[in-house]
Each structure stands twice: as C-alpha cells, then as structure tokens.
Structure 1
Amino acid sequence: MRRRLLALVCVSASLLSGCGLISDSAAERRTVTVWLMQHSASQDFLDRFTEEFESEHDGIDLDIRIQEWTGIGEKVQQALRGRDADGPDVIEVGNTQVSAYAEGDGLLDLTLESMRDWGRDDWLPGLAEPGRWGSQQYGIPWYAANRVVVYRKDLFRGAGVTAPPETRDEWLEITEQLDTDRTQGIYLAGQDWYTLAGFIWEEGGELATERDGVWRGALDSPAALRGMDFYRRLQELGDGPADADEEHPPQAGVFAEGRVAQIVAVPGLVPAIVKQNPELADLIGYFPVPGKKAGRPGAVFTGGSDLVVPANTDAEDAAVEVVAALTGARWNTELARTMNYVPNKAGLAESVAGEEGLEAMAAGAARGRATPATPRWSVVEADNPIKEYMTKVLTGADPAEEAGRAARRVTDTLAFD
C-alpha cells in the first residue's frame, strides 16, 4: 500500500541530541474528511471509532460529517468534479450508486488493496459486485440489509406448522394453509419489485444483461418469467393490492392489524409494527426467503452501503487507512452489533448470532444480489416499467407479452444517451 504519511527517523546523533526521533508535534498531520449518511452509525459508535483510530494512527485526524440522503447524488458528483478544502476523502454511498460515480473516473481504484489485504473473496456479493466498475473495485462493502420473511408464530402453530419452510414449494403449501377467511396467508403488494427480483435471480434470470457494453432488458427470458409466475402464485394467497407497492399502504400497518400471517420485509420494519400493535411483540418470528432447494436460502436483493475514495483526494493513503479500518473485521462487527446490520463478509455472520431477525437476514445475504451495475439503472427505477408489468400480469394480462413490452422499455431506457 502506498504511504504518503511523513515518517521522521534519526538522521545523525550530532544533529539530533538525546533521542534520535523528532517529537510527534513536528510531524506532518493529515485531516481525513469522511462523509457518512444519516442513521448509518450511532454517534457513540463514531466517537469510539474516532478515538481508537486516531490513537492508532499518529498524524491522522478524522473529521466525520453526517449527510442526508435527500440530494446526496448531486452533492457527491460535485465533490468528485472539483476539489476544495472541505471536500471529502472518504464517502459512504449506496451499493447500487457506485457505478454512477465511477463512470466519470471520479473514484480511486482500490482493486489492489482489496485483493491483497481486505478479504475480498469473502465479501457479500450484493455489496461487492455493484462496487465494481469494469474489472476494477471502487466501492468497498461496509454493511448490508435484505428482506426476510416476517411471520406470526402463533398463526403458524394454529395451522399446525411446526417449522418454517425450507423450500419455495413448502412455502407455497404453508402459505395456502394459512390463507383463510380470517387471515391472509401473506400480504404481498403487487408492485414489490425488489422481492420479484429475488425470485427472478433464484430461477437463473436477470433484470437486464450486458454484452459488449450494451445493456438489454431481460424480463422476457424463460427464467425471468418463471420468477414472475412464482410471485403471482404467492401473491394471490393474500389480499395485497395489485396496483401498488409495499409502501402504499405501508405494510407495517397492514401487518399490525393482526390479520396477516407473513410479509416480506427487512427486520428493521418490526419495531414499527410493534409500536402500532404491542400485543404482537412476542409473536413475531423470522426466516430467510426460501430457495428452490432445501438448505440454501433464496436469492434476495441486498441493500446497504459501500465506502469509496474520491480520486481527487489529497490524503489518499490516510483515506485508504480509514476505509480499511471501517470495513475490517473489528469495526465492521461492532457496527453490525450496534446497528443491527449484516456484516460485509459471510464469515462474520456469527457476530450477529442470537438475534433471530439478524440471523435470518445474514443467511439470506449470502445469496444477495444488486440491481444491474449501470449508471442508467436509476433512470429505469424513476419510471419503473417493472411495476407496471407486474400489475398487468397480476390482473390477467399475458405474462410473455407484457414481459416483452417491459423488457423493451428497459432496453430503451438503458440505451438512451
């Protein structure tokens, strides 16, 4: 790793009397400005990290500045385009945002550091893969979160279900048992496209594919159609609206009403459920989204954050040291425990053992994926043809025909210059 921090050594006993080293006060100091997003880490965690990091890295001071998600994209782009005295040296970015920042050569290539020192082969794929642009690694995985099945233990017992399902077929069977006149087997909104993405990936399909630098929609592949068919079969075992996503209405409120056996959500949604219905506090359980085969959770969309270093930093090596520390086992494990996240490596999953929701989430994260690694994907999401496609299929339209139409819209959007 390149080192630019000034090291002062003994030059000559005749020039430096007594001890051969100049005092620390004479050494060059660097301030590393770190942009982290609001609510990503507690203030207590940041205080402890700063104190320990600065004590272990003579000559480096940390200036951690908390940013809001609203408007952060343009703010980061401005920081990457021009360097000023207050510019960031390390930035937390959403895992799916890395390609947008790397495209214009705005980020430092961290491939060599990640391959040599940072355990790259054990990173969660849903964080590591979108952190790459071309063959280079620009985003270093920090933390993850993904959907699991949140369920009512008492309703499962009442239906004679003694254990969570291990396969998708079992999941369908159990959900059908739970779907009664009084209870929805599952509440699954018709436009929950992140959940659909996991089903498509589990079948071996993709949302979009790239060849020779050209991206094309892939919702009309046989595998993707199988994923949509599974979604349809599961969704009809409840009363989720066909023309809305999971936030309209918020599914936490629907589950809190007490007539839903399951939802697909991040465990972090559960406090909102319990706040609305405290009687459910001891009745909620979790299991990973089941896969096609027993013993292997299903593929899921992984959200979370990567850390990047702007190419225009004037404290490159010190910034790299900060990234190494935050994403290393010591502080990554501490962050996961403090904030109820999944750590950035599969091998660190044991650090959240004992927390049922986190254990389910960590198990699923091992097969996590991210959206297509093209800067144009955010444009696709802004006018999301996948949602419209899902609604049409769920209301009786021909799946192959609608998938072809949606795939063409995705292709056109990704190709727009």
Structure 2
Amino acid sequence: MRRRHTALAAAMSLGLLTACGGDGGSGSGDGASGATLELWVMEGTYPDTGSYFEDLKAAFEEETGARLNYQLVPWDEAHDKFTTAAAGDTLPDVSEIGTTWVPEFADAAIVADMSDWIEDDGLSGDLVEGLQQAGTVDGQLYGMPWYAGIRALFYRADVFEEHGLEPPTTWDELLEVGLQLKDLEPDMIPYPVPGSSEHSFYPYLWGAGAEIAVEDGDGWTSTINSPEAVEGITFFTELATEHGLSVAAANTWTEADSLQSFQDGQAAMIVNGAWTVGNLLNEDESWDGKFGVLPMPGKDGGISPSFMGGSLVSVIEGSSEPELAWELVKLMTTGDFADRWSEETGFFPGQQSLLAEYSTSDDPYVAPFAEQMSEGGKLLPVTEKFGAVQAEQVVQQMLLAILSGNKDVQTAADDAAAAMDRIFQE
C-alpha cells in the first residue's frame, strides 16, 4: 500500500498537544483503481463519527474508484502512535494533524509539503489565516486547514438575569460580578480556576500584553516571567487565592472538569470551547437559554486573545499514492464535507469562504466565538520544541505551585521560564 522513510522515531521526541478525543472504525470496498488509502483521524472530535466517515468513504470510493480505510485514534494516544508507526514504516497515507504538531512533524519528515498542490488548485487564497500560519514552516505549508476551534467565556445567563447582573466586559467587571455571585449564590462556584488547563489561563497572560515565548535568533526564549506575564498570572490565580471565587479542588482541574462543573450546575462562569455548545444542547435541551457566551473580556475592555487550535489534513511523506491522497484531503477540507463537518461539530471551517457565513451569524451560540476568532484568536509558539513544554506540563505546574501556595507568582514564573528555556535549548 505504501512505503516511507524509516529511522524517524529518534526525531520525534515531543509530547502530545491535546485537543479533543470517540470510536474507531474502518471501511472496506473494491476500488476500481486497485489502490487503497489509509486515513487516520482523531477520536472524539465529532460525536457521530460513524455516519460522517462512512459517507466520506463512500463518496471518495465513488469519485476515485479507490478504496478507503479509516481509523479513529484517541488524541491522547496519537503522538505515540505516530512515533511507533514511523519507526515501523506503517504510517497512513493521510492524517488529521493538530496545528501544534506541525513544526515537529515537518522537522521529522512525517508530513509532506503540500504548497504546490494547494496553490495549483487555487486554494491558497481562501485559507483561514491562523490555520495557514500554524501549518506553515519555513514558508512551506504542510497541511490543508480543516477546522478551527476557539475558547470564550460561558456564563449562566439565567442566574445573571435572576440577580440583575451584567456579563463582564473587563477584568474588573469579571472580578466584581464574581464577588457578587459569591454572596448571591453561595452554593455555586463563581469562577473555577482550573490549574491543569493551560488554555483557560492564556487569555489572562495574553490579555496583559505578555507572550509565552518569543523568537530569539534561531531559537526561542521564554517570556512567561516578564512583568506583563506576572500581571496576568497574578490576576488569574488571585481569583482563587485572594478572592475565593474558586475552590481548592479546581487547582488540579482540567478544561473538561470545568465543563463538567458547569453542566452539573456548580460553576457560574468558565472558559471553554465552541465545540462544547452542541454537547450541552444535545445532551439536555433545557440548557437552551440558560447559558450565554461572550468573547474573553479584555483587561480594560475589548477582547483578550484566546488560543485558536484546530487541525489540518496532511498527506504523509512517502505515501505511494500522493496524488490520490491529495484528492482525499480536498474532499475532506473543501465543499460539502467541510461545511457539514463545521455544521455538525461546532468547529469553524478552514476556508474563508465557508467561514464568512459564521462571521455574520446572529446565533448567540455562534457569533461570540466567531468574534473571538476573528478579533482575538492567537497561536502558541510555532516551534517543534513547544510540544515538549506541554508534555512536561510546565505551565500547569507553574499554576499549581501558585494555587497551592507552594510558590509566589514571580518565583513560579521564573521557574517555568527556566524550564522552557532548557527545553528550547535542547
């Protein structure tokens, strides 16, 4: 079916950058061309994976005459699976690739340079800028943008309305309304501060005008201990340590734990992703109207940046059917299948032409995320080294040390910066 380079495993030492996580499946069929493509996609992004990928498989086989086998891979297993497959010469022909994996996989010759295909088919001018930037290394594009997700502020609209509270638009307002909720709703958690969720924290770092790290010559240097960064870290952690808007249990919560607390009626405000709206409404229709979403409040107004993550679909370097693989990539990332993916998952499409509809939506569960993405979407440091930073949970360890009282903010930030710099220099 395919052959590729071996001896890549040593180059792949960076950790998984989590995003989402469902059930596996595979197709079969007799393609007239005799060719068979293998596709990997990440498990759990789409709740109804079976129908979507079976329909994709049928359409691809009808269009090309080739066979398509697909496999759903859990996000938390995917990085190791790539490493093992690279060493064993068993990588697929096409795979979903998380945006934060691209620098590493390009460096390790896992993903193919797709720039010419994208350009020749007239697609380069219609790509969502953030996803295109995330997929580009040294001027070459290593994946076709598929979908993007972004986080914003969820709040209990029914509780706010009951008490005549206004959703916050600044950091001071966020603190003020949290303190009011603390008194008005003593059985609720006004604002859980999840110490194991880096993405819930970054809006405060970036909102203070700081960066996680910056390019320094041919490498990167951490700036997570800069004065601006310390200001953002301090505001975020003091919501718990000084103002009591959180609970001790949340010190180790992940983003999923925060969402669960919101679903259980415990949390009044949380940071979470656009893709979770559908989960809330599908699991319990009574949620409709009980919660609202707004872009992340800026320090003094406007919007604090939020991490824009997502995925590309890449042709794997060494596929024996590269042109056919590109046809599969196009089928997934453009036209009806791309539009259907966005409609049914709550993620935004990777093409500007498809995104335009969402940008002008008046849906209260769509418009805030579209605004956040267009005005406040931000990427993590685009370096293959940042995967190791996340694998070591450097940011989470910093937050936990502060929230638990083991370190003051500046010390914890200095230690985090030192850990990042060590990784960047390895």
> Considering the TM-score relative to the shorter chain, is it more than 0.5?
yes
2:373 matched to which residue of 1?
365
Asked if structure 1 preserves the Cα contact closer than 8 Å seen for 2:31 and 2:65, the reply is no
2 CA distance for matches of 1:277 and 1:139?
Answer: 36
2:182 to 167, 179, 182: 179
1:189 to 194, 217, 233: 194
The 5 A counterparts of 1:297-308 are 297-308=303-314
1:263 matched to which residue of 2?
270
Q: Secondary structure at the match of 2:236?
A: helix
**RMSD of the TM alignment (CA)?**
3.4
Q: Secondary structure at the match of 1:255?
A: helix
Letter in 1 for 2:417: A
Asked if structure 1 preserves the Cα contact closer than 8 Å seen for 2:239 and 2:246, the reply is no
Q: 1:204 to 1:109 in 2, by over 3 A?
A: farther
Asked if structure 1 preserves the Cα contact closer than 8 Å seen for 2:193 and 2:250, the reply is no
Q: Secondary structure at the match of 1:264?
A: strand
Structure of higher CA gyration radius: 1
Q: 1:81 to 1:184 in 2, by over 3 A?
A: closer
Letter in 1 for 2:337: W
1:404 aligns with 2:414: yes
**Could you tell me how far 1:248 is from its partner in structure 2?**
9.3
1:310 to 285, 299, 316: 316
Letter in 1 for 2:313: L
Paired residues in the alignment total 386
With 68-77 and 95-104 compared, the bigger mean Cα shift is at 68-77
1:212 aligns with 2:221: no
**Could you tell me how far 1:94 is from its partner in structure 2?**
1.9
1 CA distance for matches of 2:136 and 2:304?
Answer: 23
Letter in 2 for 1:407: A
2:44 matched to which residue of 1?
39
- Structure 1: any 5+ residue segments left out of the alignment? 1-24
With 220-229 and 173-182 compared, the bigger mean Cα shift is at 173-182
Q: 1:347 to 1:174 in 2, by over 3 A?
A: farther
Letter in 2 for 1:384: Q
1:142 aligns with 2:146: yes
Q: 1:337 to 1:354 in 2, by over 3 A?
A: farther
Asked if structure 1 preserves the Cα contact closer than 8 Å seen for 2:150 and 2:372, the reply is yes
1:250 aligns with 2:253: no
2 CA distance for matches of 1:292 and 1:26?
Answer: 57
- Structure 2: any 5+ residue segments left out of the alignment? 1-29
2:14 matched to which residue of 1?
none
**Could you tell me how far 1:219 is from its partner in structure 2?**
0.5
**Could you tell me how far 1:54 is from its partner in structure 2?**
3.8
Give me the TM-score of the superposition, normalised by structure 1.
0.79
**Could you tell me how far 1:108 is from its partner in structure 2?**
0.9
Q: 1:331 to 1:282 in 2, by over 3 A?
A: same
Asked if structure 1 preserves the Cα contact closer than 8 Å seen for 2:103 and 2:384, the reply is yes
With 309-318 and 142-151 compared, the bigger mean Cα shift is at 142-151
1 CA distance for matches of 2:345 and 2:255?
Answer: 27
Identity rate, percent: 24
2:20 matched to which residue of 1?
none
2 CA distance for matches of 1:219 and 1:144?
Answer: 25
2 CA distance for matches of 1:276 and 1:337?
Answer: 17
**Could you tell me how far 1:408 is from its partner in structure 2?**
0.9
Asked if structure 1 preserves the Cα contact closer than 8 Å seen for 2:179 and 2:190, the reply is yes
With 267-276 and 195-204 compared, the bigger mean Cα shift is at 267-276
2 CA distance for matches of 1:32 and 1:276?
Answer: 35
1 CA distance for matches of 2:96 and 2:168?
Answer: 36
1:414 to 396, 417, 424: 424
Q: 1:28 to 1:221 in 2, by over 3 A?
A: same
Letter in 1 for 2:164: G
1 CA distance for matches of 2:170 and 2:246?
Answer: 23
Q: Secondary structure at the match of 1:263?
A: strand
